[in-house]
Structure 1
């Protein structure tokens, strides 16, 4: 994970602490140093070391425990657990990290074997441009009324 993304996560954690009602729309957990060996996706493990799970409006990135419990989504996916890791969800639709191409895919939960709804170029792209960026409005409905999007705007996360 690049230094810019770590800086963004730390800034967001600080800004969320300053806002009394932030728990309703956003939560960035503390990092975890002990990552299980069977979670062999280095990109996501780096994130977990900085932030062991996050709720960012309509985007949830799972903690280690939640991630391990939600791998039922990869059943039937070509390559299975050697290639795919379900890392979270956007409005209950699964976010899948592909170890081979390092892209993150958003699928419909009922159509995992079909074309994804959206493809993020990398985990960093997802985080910098969609979780903490203006691209958030492209993957969630009604961003103008979304507390996370408003939080990002008010705190100048868009550049």
Structure 2
């Protein structure tokens, strides 16, 4: 995880702690406090995020905590053949957000009119920087919400 992304996460955490209403639209939890081992190098950026924030709610994006991961894998059986190759790490507007353990790429699993498709949204750090904490959030939130307003306020500081 690069230093700019770390600074952004710390800045957002600080602002959220000062806003008592933020629990409705955003939470970045404390980090794990330890480093997760990884036999898959492409998982390191995701594990680094868990080290900084063990789970999060960022508007329409929910990111599971380390403790929730095992309980949240049940939806994968409906989507992929090799469940061991994937990890559901959260959801966007209630659609599963998964990471491919071999490539490190994130996908949103969507179903429209009984057609299932995977939308590639890049690797973990890019997703965090651009979608969770950046301008691309607007495109997935389909407009302005409290998280978007927080992001815009932080950009003007």
TM-score by length of 1: 0.85
Distance in 1 of aligned mates of 2:86 and 2:36: 16
Larger proportion of strand:
2
Gaps of 5+ in 1: none
Contact 2:35–2:48 (CA under 8 A) maintained in structure 1? no
Q: Pairwise CA RMSD of aligned residues?
A: 2.6
Counterpart residue number, 2:55: 53
Structure 1 residue 154 corresponds to structure 2 residue 156? no
Match of 1:124 in 2: 125
Q: Secondary structure at the match of 1:108?
A: strand
More helix by share: 2
Number of equivalences: 154
Gaps of 5+ in 2: none
- 1:18 Cα deviation (Å)? 2.1
Q: Deviations over 1:24-79 (max 9, x none)?
A: 11000000035676996333211111100000001000001222210112225133
TM-score (norm 2): 0.86
Q: Is the 8 A contact 1:67 1:86 kept in 2?
A: yes
